[in-house]
Amino acid sequence: MSGAGFAGLTAAVALAQRGWSVRVHERGEKLREEGAGIVLWQNTLTVLDSLGVTDELNAGSMRPPYYETRMQNRIVSQEGMDGIAWRTMTRPYLHSVLLNAARAAGAEVVAGSEVVGATETGTLRLRDGSELEADLVVGADGVGSAVRDSLGIDYDRQGSRDGITRFLVGRHKEELAAIEPDTEWDNVIDFWNFEPRVLRVLYTPANDRELYIALMAPAADEDGSRVPIDLDLWTSIHPQLAPVLREAAVTPGRYYGYSTTRLEHWTQGRVALIGDSAHAMCPALAQGAGCAMVNAYTLAEAATAASASDLPDALTEWERLERPYTDRCQERSQDYADTRGMSQGGQFTGDVMETTLYDPTDPRRHDVA
Ligand code: 5PR
């Protein structure tokens, strides 16, 4: 397996729990996650529950009361997600939960070990020249996937006009409450602003101590997309967030343009791609890592049900059944990114909920009525 991110570790846990002998090669010298925060929805929380990590996950994460959307600082909706599970947390925390679970399940996770390619017969090539044989190769090595590119799997990439810079900062709850006493600062608050320019702050409490903020600006806006952030510019648009913006201004970050990657196929022989290597998407629906973990789980189930000789066909069938859900999620996320449609609020309803409501642990999910 290549890549100890969320997709790779989820596959490692699910496979090891099903009796596979698993080794994950991570090119980073340290096993850690450098990202900021994340929202997980019911589809992914269901997977994590079946991996047995719910108690540990809940101990370090939270369920905000509402997902609030504001336009020009006026509330347009507050969605409580009745009956739907969702939680917020930091990415380093989610990573530590998965890493603990992978080790507890008996998977070996090796840092500083870079995979440079794979063959469809199940050979993994490492940077140091060694070659390893596996029944199943999982390429969970990110948007620049060496596993994918070594196999020559074709893809197209569609950009969008906006992008974001993400930070983890302190909660600053008392300072925020002093500025706006009537605001529920435990809510996720999506602060949209179109006039005098497009600058959005997605405010996501991750736990008691940490706050995830994502600052969105068009790529064409040089000052808006600058890192370190232009503090005067951002506070002029979002003055009530001054305490957290001040901390973001002295925190390292990087601006990422939104884009979608679509592959010709996710599997080839004994190799399956999951996560950003296969289906990187715009973050509007907060399902990039979520779909990655869902696909990691269903891949482990499908591979376990197959015999060694049937594995390539089983992978093809897994892609045929599971991929359409991710394809539609990519489409909707790209559409929201292109239209900035989430600014209208009330967005967690109808078709877009398909991804969240999908239950990858239900053995009857593909039955036709
Ligand atoms: N939702 C979430 C998020 O982290 C981002 C977006 C929407 C939870 C940014 O990564 O639209 O950019 C977004």
Residues 353-363: tens digit of each pLDDT: 999 999 999 99
Instruction: Indicate if ligand 1 lies below 6 Å from the C-beta of 284.
Output: yes
Confidence of residue 34 (pLDDT cuts 50, 70, 90): confident
Question: What's the mean per-residue pLDDT of the chain?
Answer: 97
Q: How do residues 249-286 score in pLDDT, each as one tens digit? A: 999 999 999 999 999 999 999 999 999 999 999 999 99
With contact defined as beta carbons under 8 Å apart, do 99 and 109 qualify? yes
Nearest CA to ligand 1 atom 8: 286
Instruction: Indicate if ligand 1 lies below 6 Å from the C-beta of 283.
Output: yes
Confidence of residue 33 (pLDDT cuts 50, 70, 90): confident
Among 79, 164, 343, name the best residue to mutate to test ligand 1's pocket (greatest count of ligand atoms within 8 A of Cβ).
164
Domains of the chain and CATH, by start: 6-61+91-158+261-357 (3.50.50.60), 160-257 (3.30.9.10)
User: Which distant-in-sequence residues (6+ apart) come within 8 Å of 41 by Cβ?
Assistant: 84, 85, 86, 286, 287, 290, 355, 356
With contact defined as beta carbons under 8 Å apart, do 122 and 269 qualify? yes
Q: How do residues 199-244 score in pLDDT, each as one tens digit? A: 999 999 999 999 999 999 999 999 999 999 999 999 999 999 999 9
User: Which distant-in-sequence residues (6+ apart) come within 8 Å of 233 by Cβ?
Assistant: 199, 223, 224
Measured in Å, residue 287 CA sits from the centre of ligand 1 at 9
Q: Where are the extended beta strands (E) located within 210-266?
A: 210-218, 255-263
Nearest CA to ligand 1 atom 9: 283
| Proportion of the chain above pLDDT 70, given as a percent | 100
Is 148 a residue whose pLDDT tops 90? yes
Measured in Å, residue 225 CA sits from the centre of ligand 1 at 15
- The atom number, within ligand 1, closest to the CA of 337 reads 11
Measured in Å, residue 132 CA sits from the centre of ligand 1 at 38
Distance (Å) of CA 130 to CA 2, 127, 133? 14, 7, 10
Give the phi and the psi of residue 265 in degrees, each rounded to 5. -155, 155
Instruction: Indicate if ligand 1 lies below 6 Å from the C-beta of 202.
Output: yes
- How much is the pLDDT for 294? 98
Is 108 a residue whose pLDDT tops 70? yes
Measured in Å, residue 88 CA sits from the centre of ligand 1 at 12
Measured in Å, residue 286 CA sits from the centre of ligand 1 at 6
- The atom number, within ligand 1, closest to the CA of 188 reads 8
CA–CA separation, 39 vs 90, rounded Å?
Answer: 9
Is 369 a residue whose pLDDT tops 70? no
Instruction: Indicate if ligand 1 lies below 6 Å from the C-beta of 105.
Output: no
Nearest CA to ligand 1 atom 5: 283
Structure token pair of residue 106: 């008996």
Q: How do residues 295-306 score in pLDDT, each as one tens digit? A: 999 999 999 999
Instruction: Indicate if ligand 1 lies below 6 Å from the C-beta of 40.
Output: no
User: Which distant-in-sequence residues (6+ apart) come within 8 Å of 147 by Cβ?
Assistant: 2, 115, 117, 118, 137, 139, 141, 271, 273, 277
Confidence of residue 146 (pLDDT cuts 50, 70, 90): very high
Instruction: Indicate if ligand 1 lies below 6 Å from the C-beta of 15.
Output: no
- The atom number, within ligand 1, closest to the CA of 212 reads 4
- How much is the pLDDT for 65? 98
Instruction: Indicate if ligand 1 lies below 6 Å from the C-beta of 48.
Output: no
- The atom number, within ligand 1, closest to the CA of 216 reads 12
